[in-house]
């Protein structure tokens, strides 16, 4: 039987440092910093940054570095990775990085981990010529958890007796990220928080994954399930303006379907001639898009949270103009958090 949500919905942010046409890529990184400060003032729960490599559309390649800069500019909001693509790295080094981050912002650090490459396979090999296989991922997560929290590894493990420094009274919170049943089941098995990437899968499999997570969860790092859903949403003062701004995102999405990647175009330059097949895909994209005014988008998010039995929505917003992105988060906060 589904529970009835009694807590007020929490809102969080995932920002990917999207590259905008006509601006330097370095500006995208600085816009992420400004957005984090803005969203903290609006009352958002957490601010996550992503990891992608060799992707002209998204230039957020080093979440650990961005998180340190955000930590220096904020006081309350939780800061996290969404995520660290763990197969590229040694869990011990990741643990050290995030223990340093926790020393900079005690009790405010989230360590979201995923097993996707966040890049093409050629780039993945450059990141780590000895890539960990998919079968290694659960062990990597368990090793990471032990080093992050200061627990000892079992006797016989090569890392037994080795600790990630600096140690302190707080520790980063590991989140399992995913867009399939795999991450949901692993998070449930290890007793970890779980975030489903609705914006990647267009919601496909979300209900099943979240249901599996709640049904299979056993206490571990946390005592009871803690789930969130990451959605793409765009808010403007009028519905017409919101759909106009959305043209930038829909052009990027349609180009991506053809294997074309580039900076986000201004909405006035985003239209192109679409084939009949593309027009069908575009109509489907618009049907599923969460776009509109504050009340319209908040109603969609609240209904989705109720359907999926989560108390937190993590919102991804792409606009060409940084001011429009900040306004979108402001209007959404006014509609839900006020």
- The predicted-structure confidence for 205-216, as pLDDT tens digits, reads as follows 999 999 999 999
Residue 131 has pLDDT above 70, yes or no: no
Query: Which band of pLDDT confidence, cut at 50, 70 and 90, is reported for residue 94?
Result: very high
- Please tell me which residue, 109 or 7, carries the higher pLDDT value: 109
In a 10 Å sphere around its CB, with 0-12 CB exposed, 13-18 middle and 19+ buried, how is residue 273 labelled? exposed
Q: Rounded mean pLDDT of the chain?
A: 94
User: What is the end-to-end Cα distance of the chain in Å, rounded?
Assistant: 30
Q: What are phi and psi of 331, to 5 degrees?
A: -65, -35
What's the average model confidence in pLDDT over 106-119?
90
Closest to 139 (Cα-Cα) out of 120, 153, 125: 153
Q: How many CB atoms lie within 10 A of CB 330?
A: 16
pTM of the entire structure? Answer: 0.95
What's the average model confidence in pLDDT over 100-129?
89
Q: Let me know if residue 258 belongs to a domain.
A: no
Question: pLDDT tens for residues 224-277?
Answer: 999 999 999 999 999 999 999 999 999 999 999 999 999 999 999 999 999 999
CB 126 within 8 A of CB 118: no
Tell me the C-alpha distance between 259 and 246, whole Å.
Answer: 20
Model pLDDT, residue 320: 98
Q: Let me know if residue 47 belongs to a domain.
A: yes
Q: Let me know if residue 56 belongs to a domain.
A: yes
Q: How many CB atoms lie within 10 A of CB 55?
A: 18
Q: Let me know if residue 248 belongs to a domain.
A: no
Q: Let me know if residue 282 belongs to a domain.
A: no
- Side-chain half-sphere of 292: how many Cα atoms within 13 Å? 14
Query: Which band of pLDDT confidence, cut at 50, 70 and 90, is reported for residue 7?
Result: low
CB 233 within 8 A of CB 304: no
Residue 87 has pLDDT above 70, yes or no: yes
Query: Which band of pLDDT confidence, cut at 50, 70 and 90, is reported for residue 1?
Result: very low
Q: Let me know if residue 278 belongs to a domain.
A: no
| CATH code for position 72 | 3.20.20.30
Domain count, the chain: 1
β-strand 227-235 against 290-292: which pairing, if any?
parallel
Query: Which band of pLDDT confidence, cut at 50, 70 and 90, is reported for residue 121?
Result: confident
What's the average model confidence in pLDDT over 62-70?
97
Query: Which band of pLDDT confidence, cut at 50, 70 and 90, is reported for residue 134?
Result: low
Q: Let me know if residue 116 belongs to a domain.
A: yes
Residue 318 has pLDDT above 90, yes or no: yes
Residue with tokens 């017409």: 240
Query: Which band of pLDDT confidence, cut at 50, 70 and 90, is reported for residue 8?
Result: confident
Range of the structural domain that residue 134 is part of: 10-239+294-336
Query: Which band of pLDDT confidence, cut at 50, 70 and 90, is reported for residue 114?
Result: very high
Query: Which band of pLDDT confidence, cut at 50, 70 and 90, is reported for residue 158?
Result: very high
Residue 5 has pLDDT above 50, yes or no: no
Q: Let me know if residue 281 belongs to a domain.
A: no
Query: Which band of pLDDT confidence, cut at 50, 70 and 90, is reported for residue 132?
Result: low
């Amino acid at each position: 039987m589904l529970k009835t949500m009694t807590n007020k919905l929490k809102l969080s942010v995932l920002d990917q440092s999207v590259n905008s046409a006509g601006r330097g890529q370095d500006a995208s990184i600085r816009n992420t910093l400004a957005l984090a400060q803005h969203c903290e003032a609006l009352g958002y729960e957490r601010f996550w940054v992503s990891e992608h490599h060799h992707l002209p559309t998204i230039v957020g390649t080093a979440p650990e570095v961005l998180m340190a800069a955000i930590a220096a500019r904020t006081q309350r909001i939780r800061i996290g990775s969404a995520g660290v693509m763990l197969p590229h790295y040694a869990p011990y080094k990741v643990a050290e990085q995030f223990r340093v981050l926790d020393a900079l912002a005690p009790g405010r650090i989230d360590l979201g981990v995923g097993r996707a490459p966040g890049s093409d396979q050629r780039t993945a090999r450059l990141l780590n010529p000895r890539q960990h296989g998919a079968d290694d991922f659960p062990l990597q997560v368990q090793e990471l958890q032990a080093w992050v929290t200061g627990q000892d590894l079992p006797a016989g493990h090569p890392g037994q007796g080795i600790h990630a420094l600096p140690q302190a009274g707080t520790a980063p919170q590991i989140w399992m990220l995913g867009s399939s049943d795999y991450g949901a089941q692993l998070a449930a098995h290890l007793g970890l928080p779980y975030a489903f990437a609705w914006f990647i899968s267009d919601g496909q499999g979300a209900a099943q994954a979240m249901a599996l997570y709640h049904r299979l969860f056993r206490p571990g790092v946390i005592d009871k399930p803690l789930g969130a859903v990451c959605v793409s949403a765009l808010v403007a003062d009028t519905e017409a303006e919101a759909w106009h701004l959305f043209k930038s995102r829909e052009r990027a999405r349609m180009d991506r379907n053809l294997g074309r990647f580039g900076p986000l175009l201004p909405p006035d330059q985003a239209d192109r001639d679409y084939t009949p097949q593309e027009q069908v895909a575009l109509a489907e994209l618009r049907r599923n898009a969460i776009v509109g005014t504050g009340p319209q988008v908040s109603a969609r998010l609240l209904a989705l949270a109720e359907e999926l039995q989560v108390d937190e929505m993590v919102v991804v917003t792409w606009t060409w103009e940084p001011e429009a992105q900040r306004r979108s988060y402001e209007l959404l906060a006014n509609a839900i958090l006020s």
